[in-house]
């Protein structure tokens, strides 16, 4: 499934992080925590439950899905038990293994999500690193497009959760079954479909003449090539229906697509969605409706991608159940949120700083801090005796909202560190 990436260290040293890996200082960690917590909140609102698997798996779990050529993109080694293993580059194979192990006992449809850290040894570029965190959301056991609509709604509601709108992010939707029916109607042989898909996938990213040349290299005639290139202009279910009015197979898939769009409208996300037949998702295991989320300005890589993969679980784990899912990486998303000013302030924030005038009041300050902490407040105090002025200066630098000042005469004062207003303070225990 689609994964995020991008940004981070480009070099390494004996004291620095490895290329493509990130250090998360408190500010960066706060941004990451915000993204992951928003993902969890949205997924749980849709009734999905969280799972996880090991970050290290047998190498053949990935080669079974992607072939031996994938090894060059993985972090692999032979462990002390003489097993060939790899750091997980994606979650789908682990998900398939786990579902397959308990498929008969699990309530259907299965609605699971996970937020693993994933690793790929590949060239760094904008929007892609060698590690990232990824939201994976999957539904297993429902073949109808109701599940496809539900899945996309999760992705869109994540965008809402970050404060983004349909003017910021667009969901580009296509259907590989529909495309297969359209290719057949145009005159493309089934054995040519894979090569044609590879060209369609790049129609909006390469010159039209290049696409034409590559389609002709496949062996397609001029009339067929012209019709394939015109697919880019079909931006609605009605336009596709009109262009293929006489084909029953296309009509059947258009009916399903229109029903899918009706469900998206009922789920309140239809206005985020564009029909785009150039979205085919490069992975061959997708079997139906597919989608990608992009920023509307086109400044970044895809934020999210996924779709229906009804045969993949069977090939990986022998579990013959329809399935669909998506992956949303944290790196591209983080870049977009930062660019749109949607990341929350990460300034440190304390509820209280307990300050004291006399060194012998340190233990009292500890007692007050403990009482406040047990009430749920975040509290700090000076671990060694300091002048009161220095303590208050440190409290302000630490982002404390207020200081509880223990006066030498026993008075207890709450001072608002923003306004400077002081008032008597009652200890939590009296």
Please compute the mean of the pLDDT values over residues 336-352 and round it to a whole number: 87
**What does the pLDDT read at residue 67?**
77
- Residue 2 CA to residue 304 CA, distance in Å, equals 6
CB atoms within 10 A of CB 369: 18
With beta carbons less than 8 A apart as the criterion, state whether 296 and 168 touch. yes
Upper half-sphere CA count for residue 225 (Cβ side, 13 Å)? 16
Please compute the mean of the pLDDT values over residues 252-272 and round it to a whole number: 97
Query: Is residue 76 within a helix (H) or strand (E), and if so which, with residue range?
Result: strand 76-78
Please compute the mean of the pLDDT values over residues 323-328 and round it to a whole number: 97
Three-class DSSP category at 362:
helix
CB atoms within 10 A of CB 78: 10
- For residue 236, give the DSSP letter: S
The per-residue pLDDT of the chain, averaged, comes to 90
**What does the pLDDT read at residue 4?**
38
- Residue with token string 């105090």: 381
- Residue 10 CA to residue 19 CA, distance in Å, equals 5
Q: Is the pLDDT of residue 430 over 70?
A: no
Q: Name the band, by pLDDT with cuts 50, 70 and 90, for residue 10.
A: very low
CATH fold for the domain made of 26-339? BirA Bifunctional Protein; domain 2 (3.30.930)
- Residue 381 CA to residue 395 CA, distance in Å, equals 8
Span 362-394, pLDDT tens digits: 999 999 999 999 999 999 999 999 999 999 999
Same fold: 26-339 with 350-424: no
Query: Where do the domains of the chain lie?
Result: 26-339, 350-424
Three-class DSSP category at 305:
strand
> Token pair of 197, please?
């898909």
- Residue 355 CA to residue 349 CA, distance in Å, equals 16
DSSP structure string for 132-191: EEEEEEEEES--SHHHHHHHHHHHHHHHHHTT--TTTEEEEEEEHHHHHHHHHHHT--GG
Upper half-sphere CA count for residue 171 (Cβ side, 13 Å)? 31
Strand order in 379-381's β-sheet?
379-381, 350-356, 400-406, 412-416, 422-424
**What does the pLDDT read at residue 240?**
92
Span 199-235, pLDDT tens digits: 888 887 888 888 888 888 888 888 888 888 888 888 8
Span 11-47, pLDDT tens digits: 445 678 888 999 998 889 999 999 999 999 999 999 9
Nearest Cα residue to 356 out of 307, 394, 311, 317: 394
Looking at domain 350-424, which of 3.20.20.70, 3.40.50.800, 2.60.120.10, 3.90.226.10 is its CATH number?
3.40.50.800
Span 111-153, pLDDT tens digits: 999 999 999 998 877 778 999 999 999 999 999 999 999 999 9
Chain mean position to CA 11? 26
């Amino acid at each position: 499934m689609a994964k995020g990436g991008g940004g981070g260290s480009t070099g390494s040293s004996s004291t620095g992080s490895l290329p493509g890996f990130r250090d998360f200082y408190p500010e960066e960690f706060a941004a990451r925590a915000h993204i992951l917590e928003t993902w969890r909140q949205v997924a749980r609102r849709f009734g999905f439950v969280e799972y996880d698997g090991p970050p290290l798996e047998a190498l053949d779990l990935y080669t079974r899905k992607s072939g031996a050529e994938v090894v060059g993109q993985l972090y692999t080694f032979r462990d002390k038990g003489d097993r060939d293993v790899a750091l997980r580059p994606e979650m789908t194979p682990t998900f398939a293994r786990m579902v397959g192990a308990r498929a008969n006992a699990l309530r259907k449809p299965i609605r699971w999500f996970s937020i693993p850290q994933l690793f790929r040894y590949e060239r760094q570029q904008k929007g892609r690193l060698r590690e990232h965190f990824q939201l994976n959301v999957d539904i297993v056991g429902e073949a109808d497009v109701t599940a496809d609509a539900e899945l996309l709604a999760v992705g869109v509601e994540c965008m809402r959760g970050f404060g983004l709108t349909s003017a910021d992010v667009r969901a580009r939707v296509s259907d590989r079954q529909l495309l297969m029916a359209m290719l057949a109607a145009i005159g493309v042989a089934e054995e040519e479909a894979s090569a044609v898909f590879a060209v369609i996938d790049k129609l909006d990213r390469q010159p039209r003449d290049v696409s034409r040349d590559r389609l002709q290299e496949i062996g397609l005639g001029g009339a067929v090539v012209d019709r394939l290139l015109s697919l880019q202009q079909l931006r609605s279910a009605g336009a596709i229906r009109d262009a293929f009015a006489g084909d029953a197979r296309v009509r059947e898939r258009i009916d399903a697509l229109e029903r899918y769009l009706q469900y998206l409208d009922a789920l309140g996300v239809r206005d985020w969605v564009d029909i785009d037949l150039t979205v085919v998702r490069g992975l061959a295991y997708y079997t139906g409706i597919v989608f990608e989320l992009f920023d509307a300005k086109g400044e970044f890589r895809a934020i999210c991608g996924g779709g229906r993969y009804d045969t993949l679980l069977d090939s990986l784990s022998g579990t013959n159940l329809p399935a669909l899912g998506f992956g949303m990486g944290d790196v591209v998303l983080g870049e977009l949120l930062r660019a749109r000013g949607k990341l929350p302030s990460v300034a440190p924030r304390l509820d209280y700083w307990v300050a004291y005038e006399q060194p012998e009041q340190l233990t009292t300050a500890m007692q007050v801090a403990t009482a406040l902490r047990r009430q749920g407040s975040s509290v700090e105090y000076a671990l060694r005796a300091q002048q009161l002025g220095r303590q208050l200066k440190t409290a302000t630098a630490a982002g404390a909202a207020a200081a509880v000042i223990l006066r030498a005469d026993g008075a207890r004062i709450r001072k608002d560190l923003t306004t400077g207003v002081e008032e008597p303070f009652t200890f939590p225990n009296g």
